[in-house]
Amino acid sequence: MNVSNAAANPILYYKLDPGEWGISAPATAGSSVAHVSSHESSNILRFESEAARKGCYVIAKDLYLNLQQDGMYLAATSGRSSVITYCPKKDKEQAIKGNLGSEIDKKIHQYNRKQLELDNLLKTLKGHANKTLIEQKLKSVEDKKLELQQKKLRLYTEITLLLAQNLNVNPNMLNVNLMV
């Protein structure tokens, strides 16, 4: 029995995952393992360089090939690659922002309660002079709350910039004044 070359070593056509980088070039069954493993290895290299650029460490890599008989060859019909990273900057940034943010959020919450009290008081008052005084206090509370929210945003930006420059960030050394 004579088997044709096309039947013994068929051409396999590949399709990239949505958003995946690379070229979906066809390969013969005999060269498919090298073709798919090369593509998945380049994905891992891309993941590693992206992690390094972000200041993260690669702690695990995985490359999987789906193999099956095709013609006379064990062919790679698809593949999957993944990388697990650890980002100490992100963890440190979240911890710093979390600690400082919770303090600012507590103060904002106090202003929210004060604002609610003044709103309720304003609804019950009948005299114009008293209403004007309460409206002024209410405006002052709203302004203080807005100023704190802006401070929080500036502080988060400052922390992010310091960490991006690989500078050591000590929350005690940051100039945070919660009095407004």
Compute how many other C-beta atoms are within 10 angstroms of the C-beta atom of residue 76.
24
pTM of this prediction? 0.50
Q: Show pLDDT as tens, one digit a residue, over the chain (180 residues).
A: 555 666 788 888 888 888 787 778 889 988 999 999 999 999 999 999 988 888 788 889 999 999 999 889 999 999 999 998 887 766 666 666 676 677 777 777 888 888 888 777 777 776 666 777 778 888 888 888 888 888 778 777 777 777 666 666 665 555 555 555
For residue 119, give the DSSP letter: H
What are the domain boundaries of the chain?
Answer: 5-86, 89-173
Q: Return all residues near 177 (Cβ < 8 A) that are at least 6 apart.
A: 151
